[in-house]
């Protein structure tokens, strides 16, 4: 998007396309239409060339840059759902491996929960603490019991 703005090709994304120039159109209207047409074409070229081929093949072509950008957005909504599913599965199945410290393990679990929150799938703090506790091995049973017997959360 920065490249489009820098080259003034974001005009096609910001402004509505002006009506097609006709014989009765003023020179300013002709210029506006030509600028819109050029910016639309260049915006699409830049967007398409910045997307990898496998992804580009799954995005339908369109006549204008706004529609193409909306198609790209729609394509990645499905990807974010798949990413959320992967994060949830990882959060539920992750067990402490003993290699990193407990602090690192808890931070990793919190990071996954934070990423899910960014995908509109928030996990409550109490639920996250429960996942952290159940991911610890039996060697930390005293720690779990100590936490569970405390009144405050």
**Confidence band, pLDDT 50/70/90 cuts, at residue 1:** low
Tell me the C-alpha distance between 72 and 79, whole Å: 11
Whether 85 is in a domain gets the answer no
- The predicted-structure confidence for 9-62, as pLDDT tens digits, reads as follows 677 777 788 888 888 888 888 888 888 888 888 888 888 888 888 777 878 888
What token pair was written down for 152?
Answer: 């405050």
Q: State whether 71 and 142 are in the same domain.
A: no
What residues have CB less than 8 Å from 69, skipping those under 6 apart?
13, 47
**Does residue 86 belong to any structural domain of this protein?**
no
Range of the domain at 122: 94-153
139-to-65, 102, 110, 142 alpha-carbon distances in Å: 58, 12, 22, 8
Task: Please state, in angstroms and rounded to a whole number, the distance separating the CA atoms of residues 90 and 76.
Answer: 21
Q: Which residue has the higher pLDDT, 54 or 142?
A: 142
Answer whether 0.75 is exceeded by the pTM. Answer: no
Reported as a single tens digit per residue, the pLDDT across 73-104 is 877 766 677 788 888 899 889 898 888 788 88
The verdict on residue 84 lying in a domain is no
Instruction: Return the pLDDT at 29.
Output: 87
Q: Are residues 70 and 105 in the same domain?
A: no
């Amino acid at each position: 998007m920065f490249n489009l703005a820098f080259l003034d090709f974001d005009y096609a994304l910001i402004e509505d396309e002006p009506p097609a120039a006709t014989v009765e159109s003023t020179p300013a209207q002709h210029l506006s239409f030509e600028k819109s047409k050029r910016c639309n074409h260049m915006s699409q070229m830049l967007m398409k060339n910045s997307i990898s081929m496998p992804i580009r093949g799954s995005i339908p072509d369109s006549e204008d840059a706004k529609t193409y950008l909306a198609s790209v957005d729609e394509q990645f909504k499905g990807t974010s759902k798949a990413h959320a599913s992967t994060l949830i599965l990882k959060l539920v199945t992750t067990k402490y491996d003993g290699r990193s410290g407990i602090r690192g393990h808890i931070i990793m679990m919190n990071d996954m929960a934070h990423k899910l929150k960014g995908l509109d799938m928030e996990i409550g703090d109490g639920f996250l603490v429960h996942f952290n506790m159940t991911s610890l091995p039996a060697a930390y049973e005293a720690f779990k019991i100590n936490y569970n017997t405390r009144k405050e959360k």
